[in-house]
Structure 1
Amino acid sequence: MSTDAAVQPLAVTGTRLKDRVAIITGSAQGIGYATAELFVAEGAKVAIVDVNAELAQKSAAVLDGGKGAAIGLACDVTKHEQTEAVVKAVVDKWGKIDILVNNAGITKDNLMMRMSDADWDLVLNVNLKGAFNFTKAVVRPMMKAHYGRIVSIASIVGEEGNAGQANYAASKGGLISMTKSVAREFASRSITANAVAPGFIKTRMTDAIPEDAKKKLLEKILLGRMGDPLDVARAVLFLSSDESSYITGHVLNVNGGGYM
């Protein structure tokens, strides 16, 4: 678990996701890994899905610890046939899929006048089409079970925009709108769809931001600190559990008051 001093220890019950099966995309590291770690601690079986096969398998092995609670699967989320193959592999192994967390995402930042078509297309394909592909793949087994939790990782940028991130903002804004449409389409099958919109979270990506830029970003955050991946993971856990059974089509902001 995270050791950030600002993040208080969470009382893990080991039962909030007992016997649930989850797919978490982009989960070999960062926010996705923190979420997978928390899910396993709460009793879930988790498929660590990542474009990097070696990293996915290593991360799954660490989480699993010989308990049979995690597997690592390689997948390019932009490829429909690969997302279908992952879903089939998970169902074949564990018999069902209860939870999907659409976390896979990338950035290719540039001012719009300098942004290439390739960088626009790549970000939209990974961040938005990837979530579409996986959502479409999991809803069939979820409908058969008459149960499902779909949580997509959006962003503060998808709500307020950001200079130099037109592609990323469009992908995350689209993900929020898609989440609401999915909520409307599948509510009658007891499938909920929600989004978590993180703000300024300490990850490898934000570690690369120059210190002066970080200082300016922190000045906008009411709580005065960067978020930790565990802050986001806790929100995802809540929306993936039975505690959120009457919540769907919602966007849960996890940004320390950076956007309201």
Structure 2
Amino acid sequence: MTAKNLPRTALVSGASRGIGAAIALRLAAAGMRVIGIHRAPSERADQIHKSIDTVSPGSLMRICDTADRSAVAELFAGFAADKCVITDLVNCAGITDDRAIALMSDDAWDRVLETNLTGTFNVTRAFVMPAMRAGFGVVTNISSVAGVYGNAGQANYSATKGGIDAMTRTLAKELGRSGIRVNSVAPGFIESDMTASFTQDQIKAMVRKVSLRRIERPEDVAGLVGFLHSDDASYLTGQTIVVDGGTQL
């Protein structure tokens, strides 16, 4: 199913930086109106908003903690009041709190699960009913190779990303008959705020594990997400696509 008769509006969580910002810009460039959501005000979020709105006028940025069910409900109530149907959803909001499981606190476990996994559930559940009524929707969940292969020191993060992949496959089975496609994308070693603090030796050691011999950029993920939200991917659902440059773990 395509959305040729529906105005495309994409909701992107975690849109104020990194992968989320790159995806928001990519979908705006594809002609969609983009509504980015992020957890707290920041100058960087304002800059991303200006960039998106320049490409796709009328695009917005909204504050919403996806782990807060009441905040998500309020956000979608506002969409309904404005008669705004979200046709495209990208769940990208996520955090890490890495440590070995013997040293992992309850708070470190709970916060990562609430933001990454429960937050994805909250937003997707709110998205589903209006999309079902419209008879069309595209969902992409951003997971990670940590959810596919595991990663030492990331029991909490890996569990959330593996859970997102499993939820993706389940939702694809549930929602396909309603014209809604659901896929996940699992990036590898991404250029980010975290890697900006790494030494050159640390970066070189990581790059040696990547067949393409470079760090993955947010735009590498955004290009794939753009494809998944195009009509060229209209028969693709229930898949987890690893985009990691051939990382050898």
Give the TM interval when normalised to the shorter protein.
Answer: over 0.9
| 2:22 pairs with 1:29 | no
Q: Secondary structure at the match of 2:107?
A: helix
Which letter maps to 1:137? A
2:88 corresponding residue in structure 1: 99
Give the deviation of 1:73 after TM superposition. 0.4
| 2:145 pairs with 1:142 | no
Give the deviation of 1:83 after TM superposition. 1.2
Rounded Cα–Cα distance in structure 1 between residues aligned with 2:234 and 2:133: 18
Contact 1:19 1:43 in 2 (8 A): no
Say which of 117, 135, 141 aligns to 1:152: 141
Which letter maps to 1:28? S
1:114 corresponding residue in structure 2: 103
Say which of 150, 160, 179 aligns to 1:161: 150
Give the deviation of 1:94 after TM superposition. 5.8
Q: Secondary structure at the match of 2:194?
A: helix
Q: Which moved more, 1:200-209 or 1:130-139?
A: 200-209
Q: Which moved more, 1:247-256 or 1:82-91?
A: 82-91
Give the deviation of 1:67 after TM superposition. 5.6
Contact 1:23 1:100 in 2 (8 A): yes
Rounded Cα–Cα distance in structure 1 between residues aligned with 2:109 and 2:198: 21
Say which of 163, 187, 190 aligns to 1:174: 163
Rounded Cα–Cα distance in structure 2 between residues aligned with 1:94 and 1:208: 44
Q: For each residue in 1:9-48, what CA deviation from the matched residue of structure 2 results, as whole angstroms up to 9, or x when unmatched?
A: xxxxxxx9x9310100000111111111111111100111
1:7 corresponding residue in structure 2: none
Residues 220, 34 of structure 1: alpha-carbon distance in 2 compared, 3 angstrom cutoff: same
Residues 53, 89 of structure 1: alpha-carbon distance in 2 compared, 3 angstrom cutoff: farther
Rounded Cα–Cα distance in structure 1 between residues aligned with 2:233 and 2:165: 18
1:40 corresponding residue in structure 2: 28
Rounded Cα–Cα distance in structure 1 between residues aligned with 2:200 and 2:106: 30
Say which of 65, 68, 80 aligns to 1:76: 65
4+ residue runs over 6 A deviation: none
Between the two proteins, the alignment pairs up a number of residues equal to 244
Q: For each residue in 1:172-196, what CA deviation from the matched residue of structure 2 results, as whole angstroms up to 9, or x when unmatched?
A: 0111001111111111101011000
Contact 1:149 1:193 in 2 (8 A): yes
Contact 1:183 1:193 in 2 (8 A): yes
Gaps of 5+ in 2: none
Rounded Cα–Cα distance in structure 2 between residues aligned with 1:90 and 1:211: 46
Q: Secondary structure at the match of 1:195?
A: strand
Normalised to the residue count of structure 2, the TM-score between the two structures is 0.92
Give the deviation of 1:208 after TM superposition. 2.5
| 2:218 pairs with 1:238 | no
Q: For each residue in 1:213-259, what CA deviation from the matched residue of structure 2 results, as whole angstroms up to 9, or x when unmatched?
A: 32222111111111111100011111112211111110111100115
Residues 146, 130 of structure 1: alpha-carbon distance in 2 compared, 3 angstrom cutoff: same
Normalised to the residue count of structure 1, the TM-score between the two structures is 0.88
Rounded Cα–Cα distance in structure 1 between residues aligned with 2:174 and 2:228: 18
Contact 2:29 2:55 in 1 (8 A): no
Residues 25, 175 of structure 1: alpha-carbon distance in 2 compared, 3 angstrom cutoff: same
Say which of 173, 195, 210 aligns to 1:184: 173
Q: What is the RMSD of the two structures over their aligned residues, measured on CA atoms?
A: 1.9
Residues 165, 103 of structure 1: alpha-carbon distance in 2 compared, 3 angstrom cutoff: same
Which letter maps to 1:195? S
Identity among equivalent pairs (%): 38
Rounded Cα–Cα distance in structure 1 between residues aligned with 2:56 and 2:154: 41
